[in-house]
């Protein structure tokens, strides 16, 4: 195992994007049916983060069979540090209500191609 910063610097030296984002995996700590009352506030918070340029992407996670849903979600935050990612995640209404707990990790965006303009919460895109 090596130091994260050494990996980041190595990626930058190779000429890839090397943009640090933060993966937030929200795991429920209550049964699925107990999440419903906080969903509207959670979605409003996600929209606020999107407007502020913090939320890069978000959505629910299925299980490893692609059949079941337990209430888990995944968000990618565009913030300057893991401390800020923890602060932002901790203010999610699901976390404030004690219904989900976040797992946060840095994620280095290196490769890929994006050639669209999409606003997820507004259901707006220029996709064909």
pLDDT tens digits for 42-86? 999 999 999 999 999 999 999 999 999 999 999 999 999 999 999
pLDDT at 28: 98
Which positions ≥6 away from 125 have C-beta within 8 Å? Answer: 116, 117, 118, 119
Say whether 83 sits in a helix, a strand or coil: helix
pLDDT at 120 over 70: yes
Arithmetic mean of pLDDT, 9-36: 96
Domain residue ranges in the chain = 17-110
pLDDT at 124: 78
pLDDT at 128: 53
Cβ count within 10 A of residue 50 = 17
Mean pLDDT over the full length of the chain: 94
Measured distance CA(14)–CA(17) in Å, rounded = 9
CA-atom Rg of the chain in angstroms: 16
CATH class of 17-110: alpha beta
What is the residue whose two structure tokens read 């990996």? Answer: 7
Please tell me which residue, 66 or 117, carries the higher pLDDT value. Answer: 66
Q: What share of the chain in percent tops pLDDT 70? A: 98
Measured distance CA(10)–CA(33) in Å, rounded = 45
Arithmetic mean of pLDDT, 21-26: 98
Arithmetic mean of pLDDT, 33-44: 97
């Amino acid at each position: 195992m090596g130091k994260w910063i050494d990996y980041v610097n190595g990626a930058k030296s190779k000429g890839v994007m090397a943009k640090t984002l933060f993966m937030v995996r929200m795991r429920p700590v209550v049964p699925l049916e107990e999440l419903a009352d906080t969903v509207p506030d959670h979605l409003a918070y996600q929209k606020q983060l999107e407007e502020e340029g913090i939320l890069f992407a978000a959505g629910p996670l299925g299980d490893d069979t692609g059949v079941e849903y337990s209430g888990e979600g995944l968000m990618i935050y565009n913030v300057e540090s893991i401390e800020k990612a923890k602060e932002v995640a901790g203010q999610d209404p699901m976390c404030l209500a004690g219904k989900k707990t976040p797992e946060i990790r840095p994620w280095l965006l290196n490769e890929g191609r994006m050639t669209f303009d999409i606003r997820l919460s507004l259901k707006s895109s220029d996709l064909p």
